[in-house]
């Protein structure tokens, strides 16, 4: 087991983040940002919005896998989860983001 954390990394010309849970699994990832500061702002938005259940959209993918989307107060998507085989596993993922994201440190891998 590890401590939950955000990882900020570069993929091609974009900065991205992922949130790792206590078990090391990626439970949330963000879009690509053109600047490091933009990505850091995305992480800050996740931290601010994560505690609120109303910011989560629970979804079912076309392959019958469950996932969730975290949205900001303006309705913009700020994070997407991994996929889960059951709705209850997805809901556990949401609870992990609610619990871990607000205080998770950021590991800068750039």
pTM for this predicted structure: 0.91
Q: Taking residues 61-73, what's their average pLDDT?
A: 94
For residues 102 and 1, is the Cβ–Cβ distance under 8 A?
no
Select the more confidently predicted residue: 22 or 105. Answer: 105
* Residues in a beta bridge with 6: 19, 106
Residue with the two structure tokens 């619990």: 99
Kind plus residue range of the DSSP H or E element containing 100: helix 87-100
3-state secondary structure of 110: coil
In the chain, the domains with their CATH numbers are 5-108 (2.30.29.80)
For residues 79 and 32, is the Cβ–Cβ distance under 8 A?
no
Instruction: Give the separation between CA 86 and CA 89, rounded to whole angstroms.
Output: 5
φ, ψ (nearest 5 deg) of residue 93: -65, -40
Read off the pLDDT of residues 78-102 as tens digits, 9 standing for 90 and up: 999 999 999 999 999 999 999 999 9
Read off the pLDDT of residues 50-64 as tens digits, 9 standing for 90 and up: 999 999 999 999 899
pLDDT confidence of residue 1? 52
């Amino acid at each position: 087991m590890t401590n939950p954390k955000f990882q900020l990394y570069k993929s091609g010309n974009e900065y991205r983040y992922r949130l790792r849970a206590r078990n090391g699994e990626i439970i949330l990832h963000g879009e690509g940002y053109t600047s490091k500061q933009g990505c850091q702002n995305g992480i800050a938005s996740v931290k601010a919005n994560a505690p609120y259940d109303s910011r989560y959209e629970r979804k079912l993918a076309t392959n019958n896998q469950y996932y969730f989307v975290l949205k900001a107060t303006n309705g913009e998507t700020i994070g997407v989860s991994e996929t889960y085989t059951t709705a209850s596993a997805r809901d556990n993922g949401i609870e992990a983001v609610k619990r871990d994201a607000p205080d998770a440190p950021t590991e800068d891998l750039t």
